[in-house]
């Protein structure tokens, strides 16, 4: 371990907070094993030997989206042959099927649809609650919430209050991409600003909602952008304590407008897990999203800072439309096997990290 990493290691061992310059040094280092060793100290201090997973289903009501982010192939204009909208009947069926398989969470997100109104989204949540009242609804990114506020000419608080009344339980971490304006201008110029994303999570947290945060890495961003992104998240978390989990998302380029970029590497995937675990000292959990990293890297990540391996997902569309080669869902037995083999203790959780115990069948 070189002198710079060694001094960061000492701070972490003494539970001292590292600063933005330290974070930059971590991103600039390729000494992966040392990064993992440092991250593991934080990971085990916070979560011991546990590795969390859940039984969840992703449901993407529609991919119609007017925004046209360069990294996203899921969002399509209404006229595209790839555009779709699920019917309420179909969504009921998906909800019932997942609930019968023991799902405790539906993760519901979609594009920014030019025609749907706020009552559609309220109805959507009510429909899921009517078929599976016990299942937690983690729904709508801050970008969707911002859009709902614009189209309904309501304040964000009121939109969230109406959605909570319809069954909203918490918010996922999508739409953050890279929060700096430099990167947003390059890859998602039509989207809510990074500051707006932060402000909406602040409002949600102040209303008592929990949420997650993400970072989309491996495209046009540099290390400085990522440090600023993590700093914005850490600052908000100091203020509200409303974030549960941070999820670094590795960019899948194949069928996107950025197809000329190379895919991320194993080294880079594990580095992002480790650096975020070390810097985000006020986030309880770091999740490795196996859908994007692949199962093999996800398993290794459990010893490089991650304490959560996400869930069964059942049907992933966002990055599979971008050409991801990973499975679209996993059986819970497979998740448990991966965790055990990594030497961690598989721990089923619900969305809010309450432990779930199931009696053996």
Q: Which residues bind ligand V47 (CB under 6 A)?
A: 71-72, 172-175, 177, 212, 214, 216, 247, 249, 251-252, 256, 289, 292, 310, 318-319, 322
In the complex, minimum distance from the CB of residue 212 to ligand V47, in angstroms, rounded to a whole number: 3
The answer to whether 245 touches 173, Cβ cutoff 8 Å, is: yes
Q: How far is the CB of 25 from ligand V47 (least distance, A)?
A: 26
Of the pair 50, 229, the CB lying nearest ligand V47 is at: 229
DSSP H helical ranges for the chain? 3-13, 20-28, 32-47, 88-100, 118-131, 142-152, 156-166, 181-187, 194-206, 223-240, 266-279, 290-293, 295-301, 332-341
Nearer to ligand V47, 43 or 320 (CB): 320
**Residues 269, 305 contacting (CB under 8 angstroms):** no
* CA atoms lying within 13 Å on the CB side of residue 147: 22
In whole angstroms, the minimum distance from the beta carbon of 361 to ligand V47 comes to 28
Tokens of 72: 């996203």
> Considering the complex, what minimum distance in angstroms separates the CB of residue 177 from ligand V47?
5
Closest distance of CB 348 from ligand V47, Å: 15
DSSP β-ladder status, 243-250 and 210-217: parallel
Q: Which residue is nearest to ligand V47, using beta carbons?
A: 174
CA distance 280 to 127: 36
Of the two residues 5 and 249, which places its CB atom closer to ligand V47 in the complex? 249
Instruction: State how far the Cα of 339 lies from the Cα of 348, in Å rounded to an integer.
Output: 11
Nearer to ligand V47, 156 or 247 (CB): 247
Residue 25 or 138: the one with the smaller Cβ distance to ligand V47 is 138
């Amino acid at each position: 371990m070189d002198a710079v990493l060694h001094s960061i290691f000492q701070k972490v061992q003494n539970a001292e907070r590292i600063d933005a310059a330290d974070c930059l040094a971590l991103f600039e280092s390729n000494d992966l094993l040392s990064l993992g060793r440092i991250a593991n100290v934080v990971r085990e201090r916070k979560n011991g030997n546990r590795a969390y997973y859940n039984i969840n289903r992703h449901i993407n009501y529609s991919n119609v989206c007017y925004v046209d982010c360069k990294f996203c192939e899921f969002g399509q204009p209404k006229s595209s042959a790839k555009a779709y909208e699920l019917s309420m009947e179909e969504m009921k069926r998906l909800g019932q099927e997942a609930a019968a398989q023991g799902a405790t969470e539906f993760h519901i997100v979609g594009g920014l649809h030019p025609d749907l109104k706020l009552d559609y989204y309220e109805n959507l949540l009510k429909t899921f609650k009517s078929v599976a009242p016990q299942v937690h609804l983690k729904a709508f990114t801050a970008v969707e919430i911002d859009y709902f506020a614009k189209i309904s000419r309501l304040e964000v608080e009121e939109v969230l209050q109406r959605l909570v009344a319809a069954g909203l339980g918490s918010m996922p971490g999508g739409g953050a991409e890279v929060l700096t304006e430099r990167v947003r201008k390059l890859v998602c110029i039509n989207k809510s600003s990074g500051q707006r994303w932060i402000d909406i999570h602040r409002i949600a947290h102040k209303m008592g909602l929990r949420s997650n945060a993400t970072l989309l890495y491996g495209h046009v961003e540099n290390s400085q952008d990522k440090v600023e992104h993590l700093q914005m998240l850490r600052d908000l978390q100091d203020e509200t304590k409303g974030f549960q989990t941070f999820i670094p998302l590795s960019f899948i380029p194949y069928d996107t407008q950025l197809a000329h970029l190379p895919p991320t590497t194993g080294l880079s995937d594990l580095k992002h897990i480790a650096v975020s675990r070390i810097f985000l000292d006020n986030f309880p959990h770091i999740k490795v999203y196996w859908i994007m990293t692949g199962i093999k890297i996800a398993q290794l990540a459990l010893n490089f800072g991650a304490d959560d391996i996400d869930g069964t997902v059942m049907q992933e569309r966002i990055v599979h439309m971008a050409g991801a080669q990973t499975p679209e869902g996993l059986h819970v037995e497979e998740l448990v096997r991966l965790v055990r083999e990594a030497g961690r203790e598989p721990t089923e959780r619900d969305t809010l990290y309450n432990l779930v115990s199931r009696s053996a069948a």
